[in-house]
Structure 1
């Protein structure tokens, strides 16, 4: 009896350590893909001028630059198609397999871009191949978020699920910062000729081994307990996309509302704000880039804290407070920017903190509103359709609207519109923090009781 009593505390003490180790493995597997994706995204965006010189005829530099950004836009446009393929595929064959497949495709295309000969070497084949490779990257990226968010939500302990899933966005911010940092090093260390000759290839070649590491990590993990429960019970859906559209249209629209309220401030604050500062406020490019970097660093700290807070007080209070703050403070923030550099920094950091609260909660809340049978399909479609419609269009629409109205306050009301959409979606949703992800509709009555109980046992850890 005494032996059992003495061993029990040791076993109980080991449970949190095992739980923390499992969470770290899950976070690494889930976040590595978004890191690689955003690293590539930042590198391509910052090197757009150089890529235009390498891959498009030199007679018209403006046309070449427009072509590069056109290729950039096309990679966004194809993501919903990738979502429609990889989302249902993940619900049919598992999260692990789609996680491995999408990072293999993204990294392979990125490596090939880094090795691709330019226009001077192979002529028109160069821009054609660039377009094809960017399409492959965009297609694979359409499956990244849904796979990773489903995997993290289903792998994290129930009471720490918000914290676990929030690291998906930490991976995004880290990838964005890493891509920016590599560009800064290249710009400082190489002259224009070196950058055009070979320097532009470095970020794409660096991303390839990162992708290999991610592939190895993802290939070694087990699939999630929830998905294994579907397999054990023989209830893996044969047509999850049809099931999603037939039975979960409401959830799909709600998730889209949450995600649109994330996409627009993300691109407005972290990408468009740099252009806004230089073009409309008269600040230097160095100052604008520094503020963007500081906002990203702030997000690295705040996003997991807001994810953890949502575990404690609920998804709804955190997300509703954040979108309400975005609604009330967006226009005053852009008014504050007019007062000078100090006002711009104060407003930028305020908007960055609001964005961090949204980033810390939207993904886990979206994951929790879908049943396991259609979770990856729902997340993939909602995320990528809203990204294609609202994310990549932010800089273009801001430029057009400011030109048409003559008012530099346009970004404020534009953010307010999507804050309202996010609020409507959030207020229509029930609180889901701490909920079981495996629902009665996911598993038939003939499933063994031990399979049925597995997620509940894991949640108590």
Structure 2
């Protein structure tokens, strides 16, 4: 594929639209399931851990939530380097099939009252499979979208990955809201909780079909045609790109913790600790997701004009300055205060979501991009994302201080600020680098050693 063909394919509007849908649809399914599990934590505790106290059952559900994150780095180590060897499209298809099957299993599982201890064991198995698949989703999708997006609109194109994640959360919160207003609490506990998990299965199959119909990225195909595919991408990313991995760790701590506080933990926080109704808290979360869905592509497009660093720096400073006042308003202001403060946090989150994925994609060379993104994203997710609900619940329970989440967000704002300051500005940089094209062909025969003349 020559340069003109490559540029033409990037700028082909129907191809670009299909690639955006293919990249975002699996993320939507993944986060729909993840959010539904978190939103239904209290009900799932009753179904699978009925012999525990209310607090212990909730902690058990969040522990299973965290375990599924703990295994994500293994999924990253499998699917990340695999995508750098066999292509983005194939790994995207593999992970969405795995994710869909595990989500369907959760929706069909009998409860503890039916099969005893086997019920929570199977729940853990299903969540582990979901965790493995999730370990390959972000790196595959972010690489795919970055490599398909035109350079001048790359921030906008890659931002749709997080639009997909927000739509997943939006769909989940809206589904929970509809369950709350149409079914009794007993009906939700008996069978209604299964509906969202069962709805995710056909969405996943549609996503698989779409991903099967799209070509792999132009960048990856160029590497294939020139024999530049990395023979050992895992070793290469650790030996040649360790600095980028550290930078990504800092940025992703900022992203993960803010994401999980705002869109996962706040629903439980507002109902369990602030006394809001489940329906009211779900409605606030839905409105916040809608605001972020609109703002993320707008901020992504803005980053194409002003740069990635100003957007990321603004988000870190905003967390430092605004987290405490917003949580104070949430605690004291009733439903209106909760809505205003949650939306304010959602705006800060949108700044992060709009730019973190494209910035990280731009700092890694194409040969190891999917592996680097997968490892950096999922190691930090295992340590700092899945632990958010459990850690916040534990600390509030031990300290009695309802401002714990605000202090945590201030801390990650500091981490994000330091990490962003170490980054170079990446807007407009080519994704195929000299490191990619100068690499030796791993499939080529070695040159014969020169022979001595007599």
TM-score by length of 1: 0.87
Question: Residues 353-380 of structure 1: CA distance to partner in whole angstroms, max 9, x if unpaired?
Answer: 1111111001100110000111111111
Separation (CA, whole Å) in 1 of partners of 2:347 and 2:255: 13
Residue 413 in structure 1 maps to residue 427 in structure 2: no
Structure 1: 5+ residue runs without aligned partners? 1-14, 448-461
- 1:233–1:444 contact (8 Å) kept in structure 2: no
Q: 1:381 aligns with which of 352, 367, 375?
A: 375
Match of 2:207 among 202, 214, 232: 214
Q: Aligned residue for 1:425?
A: 419
Once residues 325 and 153 of structure 2 are traced to their aligned partners in structure 1, the CA distance between those partners, rounded to angstroms, is: 35
1:200/1:281 Cα in 2 relative to 1: closer, same or farther (>3 Å)?
Answer: closer
- Equivalences for 1:186-335 in 2 at 5 Å? 186-335=179-328
C-alpha displacement of 1:334: 2.7
Aligned equivalents of 2:434, 2:154: Cα separation in 1? 20
- The question of whether the paired residues in 1 share the 8 Å contact of 2:11 and 2:150 is answered with no
Supply the distance in 2 between the matched residues of 1:116 and 1:384 (Cα, whole angstroms): 27
Shift in Å, 1:122: 4.1
Corresponding residue number in structure 2 for 1:36? 29
Structure 2: distance between partners of 1:413 and 1:182? 31
Cα deviations by residue, 1:118-174 (Å, 9 ceiling, x for unpaired): 445444433322221211111101110110001000011111111111111111111
2:361 to 367, 373, 379: 367
Distance, in Å, in 2 between the alignment partners of 1:197 and 1:335 is 37
Counterpart of 1:180 in structure 2 is 173
The answer on 1:111 being equivalent to 2:104 is: yes
Secondary structure of the equivalent of 1:443?
A: helix
1: CA distance, partners of 2:440 / 2:267: 57
> Mind listing any 5+ residue stretches in structure 2 that lack a counterpart?
1-7, 442-454
Deviation at 1:59, TM superposition (A): 4.2
User: Corresponding residue for 2:347?
Assistant: 353
Instruction: Judge conservation of contact 1:233–1:446 (CA < 8 Å) in 2.
Output: no
1:324 Cα deviation after fit: 1.6
Summarize the alignment of residues 9-28 of structure 1 with structure 2, pairs less than 5 Å apart.
19-28=12-21
1:50 deviates by 3.7
Are the aligned partners of 1:53 and 1:61 in contact in 2 as well (CA < 8 Å)? no
Contact kept? 1:77, 1:388, Cα under 8 Å: yes
The Cα shift of 1:188 comes to: 3.0
Report if the CA contact (8 A) 1:47-1:200 is conserved. Answer: yes
What is the CA deviation profile of residues 55-88 of structure 1, one whole-angstrom value per residue up to 9, with x for unaligned ones?
A: 45x4446465544333222111111111111111
Structure 1 counterpart SS, 2:12: helix
2:432 to 430, 434, 438: 438
Q: Who is 1:169 aligned against?
A: 162
Contact 1:72–1:134 (Cα < 8 Å) also in 2: yes
Equivalent residue, structure 1, for 2:122: 129
Alpha-carbon distance in structure 2 between the residues aligned to 1:89 and 1:274? 36
Write the distance in 2 (CA, Å) between the matches of 1:410 and 1:54: 29
Question: How far, CA to CA, are the matches of 2:51 and 2:384 in structure 1?
Answer: 33
Q: Displacement, 1:403?
A: 4.9
SS of 1:235's equivalent in the other structure is: coil
Report the Cα distance in structure 2 between the residues aligned to 1:123 and 1:338, rounded to whole angstroms: 39
Equivalent residue number for residue 156 of structure 1: 149
Aligned to 1:92: 85
SS in 1 for 2:438: coil
CA distance in 1, matches of 2:396, 2:91: 42
Question: Contact conserved, 1:186 with 1:195, CA < 8 A, in 2?
Answer: yes
**Aligned partners of 1:107 and 1:211 also within 8 Å:** yes
> After the TM superposition, which of the residue ranges 137-146 and 67-76 deviates more from structure 2?
67-76
Question: Would the alpha carbon gap of residues 404 and 270 (structure 1) be closer, same or farther in structure 2, given more than 3 Å must change?
Answer: same
For the Cα contact (< 8 Å) 2:296–2:350, is it kept in 1? yes
Q: Post-superposition shift, 1:229? A: 1.2
TM-score, with structure 2 as normaliser: 0.88
* RMSD value, Cα: 2.4
C-alpha distance in structure 1 between counterparts of 2:337 and 2:391, whole Å = 24
